[in-house]
Structure 1
Amino acid sequence: MLLSIAVYCALGAFAGILAGLLGVGGGIVIVPMLVFAFGWQGFPPETIMLLALGTSMSSIMFTSVSSSLAHGRNGNVAWGVAKGITPGILVGTFCGSFVAAQIPARYLQIFFVCFLFFVVSQMLSGKKPKPSRQIPGFAGLSAAGGIIGVVSSLVGIGGGTLSVPFLLWHNVEMRKAIGTSAAIGFPIALAGSLGYIVNGIGAAHRPDYSFGYVYLPALFGLVAVSMFTAPIGARIAQTLPVPQLKKCFAVLLIVVGVRMLYKALF
């Protein structure tokens, strides 16, 4: 148990830095790493993906608070946008967790890998928005929030891989898009965690120390470290060339995605 918690702490340190640096909440890395770790611990295959998604969502509740506060102190959070998109986020994420609970684990993994490759394509495309494109009104933000929430719950992320491109496409400056995405991560993680807990209560084949589809030892290890490393990532984001860092991150996602796809298919 001590060895596994140490592994989760190391993963939390990495995820926290990514949360602050790239506004991705860390979930895009946490989920595949948890899948590998849970498999290493011998958890039942039919529960591994759901446990990884639920635990990832719960951990992001903490990293998003730490990261968004750090970005807020730097003036890099558009709080009005975050407030407007939250209702759609809450509804979409909560409902999406119920959908995920009904999908066979193998197909859920394949969907996650497809999403990883979508993220990579967005990071490497370098598309620029039209200069006249502006943030939509409440209805548009709610609809966008619902879509971001559903997808986020299916892949266990804080939404940054969708919300950052959405904000950039509407001409929000890069650093403010990252900071706002970190703030949006909290309602996503809150609704998603609740959904995975509700769906997992009473479910068969869950390991000891799990609360619904949240594995508490992994959550403890992730949170204990990531809350301290997320502000470090936010500070780094103020000085390093974020677009170039995103391209390096895209290479990592390709490696992770290929590995997960292989395990899902064979």
Structure 2
Amino acid sequence: MFFGVPYDQLAILAVGLLAAGAVTGILAGVFGVGGGAVIVPVLYELFGVVGVPLEVRMPLCVGTSLAIIIPTSIRSFQAHKARGAVDLDILKAWAVPVILGVVAGSFIARYAPPAVFKAVFVFVAGLSAFRLLTGKELKFGKGMPGTAGMAASGGVIGILSSLMGIGGGQLGNLVMMAYGRTIHNAIATSSGLGVLISIPGAIGYILAGWSKAAAYPTVAAIQFPFALGYVSLIGFLLFIPTSMWTAPLGARLAHALPKRQLEVAFGLFLLIVSGRFLWDFIAR
């Protein structure tokens, strides 16, 4: 036993986290996403193995995902900014509403039942899967919307991303491309959303789950030193090394395989994950 957790459960969790980190890094390199769509469902299954109750499992997965995204989002944003590909005007217009949306999402996380997190995940992942599998893009017009439209879209991106545990890249890309921006410009600019969302989001989930550890004294996985609030420290520490190591491999893979083939593969993965959470949502 280590801090009340059996060694076999710790071994399963550690190996699973390292493997999932490797897969997340590859997907991040291939698709330019932060990996939250992969991190959350993987953590959900792994935390179930070590006995984390359903009442706190989804917010623990989401908060941990946001913490994991912090270093990769900063690195990605710096790389895109160095190339001059980031539209800073869009980020400035989105900054305040996105952060306010994240704060609202963190507040919701403190009181919302698990079904809320699953419903958000199913909606966003399902929408992304539909777009990837059909190859269809939304078209709202040319040129980004005005002040009110940017504020509204930024707030929605912040809330949904903080409840799903993603860096906002998928939603940011969706909005920007719907208003006529190129995929390269959308990806580069959306990388900045990861910084705006992940840092306040992780802090918000630590605060939101701070009192939950006392409510489940026998569940070691949500107690310090394994976790701070709704952020798993062991998940954070084990996910990052392998994801950072395999991200360049994913970038090389993106140039070696047909783009459409990769889109379909990722779309099918999101569809399966959405179905998994939808079934869990209906069954309970």
Query: Structure 1 residue 232: deviation in Å?
Result: 4.3
**Equivalent of 2:103, from 50, 71, 94?**
94
Q: Which letter maps to 2:158?
A: G
Report the secondary structure of 2:149's partner residue.
Answer: helix
Q: Which has the larger radius of gyration?
A: 2
- Structure 1 CA distance for aligned equivalents of residues 258 and 85 of structure 2: 16
Q: Which letter maps to 1:67?
A: S
**Equivalent of 1:177, from 166, 186, 197?**
186
Tell me the equivalent position of 1:252: 269
Query: Structure 1 residue 256: deviation in Å?
Result: 1.7
Change (3 A) 1:218 1:132: closer
Q: Deviations over 1:96-121 (max 9, x none)?
A: 12113322113432332233212212
- 1:264 matches 2:273: no
Normalized against structure 1, the TM-score is what? 0.89
Q: Deviations over 1:69-92 (max 9, x none)?
A: 333444443233223312111110
- Structure 2 CA distance for aligned equivalents of residues 112 and 128 of structure 1: 20
Report the secondary structure of 1:39's partner residue.
Answer: helix
Bigger drift between 22-31 and 211-220 goes to: 22-31
Please provide the CA RMSD for this pair. Answer: 2.4
- Structure 2 CA distance for aligned equivalents of residues 168 and 184 of structure 1: 15
- 1:84 matches 2:78: no
**Equivalent of 2:144, from 135, 140, 159?**
135
- Structure 2 CA distance for aligned equivalents of residues 69 and 244 of structure 1: 29
**Equivalent of 2:51, from 33, 42, 61?**
42
The within-5 A match list for 1:188-227 is 188-203=197-212, 204-205=215-216, 207-208=222-223, 209-227=226-244
Q: Which letter maps to 1:226?
A: S
Quick check: 1:95–1:195 contact (8 Å CA) kept in 2?
no
Change (3 A) 1:162 1:48: same
Query: Structure 1 residue 225: deviation in Å?
Result: 2.2
**Equivalent of 2:68, from 59, 63, 69?**
59
- Structure 2 CA distance for aligned equivalents of residues 226 and 148 of structure 1: 24
Change (3 A) 1:49 1:130: closer
Which contiguous aligned blocks of 4+ residues in structure 1 show a shift greater than 6 angstroms? none
Q: Percent identity?
A: 38
Quick check: 1:88–1:149 contact (8 Å CA) kept in 2?
yes
Q: Deviations over 1:23-64 (max 9, x none)?
A: 321001111111011001111221100100100111111121
- Structure 2 CA distance for aligned equivalents of residues 18 and 122 of structure 1: 17
Instruction: Name the structure, 1 or 2, with higher relative contact order (CA <8 Å, separation 6+).
Output: 1
Normalized against structure 2, the TM-score is what? 0.84
The gaps in structure 1 that reach 5 residues or longer are none
- Structure 2 CA distance for aligned equivalents of residues 64 and 121 of structure 1: 25
Change (3 A) 1:135 1:57: same
The within-5 A match list for 1:162-173 is 162-173=171-182
Report the secondary structure of 1:113's partner residue.
Answer: helix
- 1:7 matches 2:38: no
Bigger drift between 232-241 and 64-73 goes to: 232-241
- Structure 1 CA distance for aligned equivalents of residues 59 and 181 of structure 2: 34
- Structure 2 CA distance for aligned equivalents of residues 94 and 20 of structure 1: 28
Quick check: 2:33–2:169 contact (8 Å CA) kept in 1?
yes
The within-5 A match list for 1:100-111 is 100-111=109-120
- 1:113 matches 2:122: yes
Quick check: 1:200–1:212 contact (8 Å CA) kept in 2?
yes
Q: How many residues align?
A: 266
Change (3 A) 1:130 1:56: closer
Quick check: 1:23–1:164 contact (8 Å CA) kept in 2?
no
Q: Which letter maps to 1:56?
A: S
The gaps in structure 2 that reach 5 residues or longer are 1-9
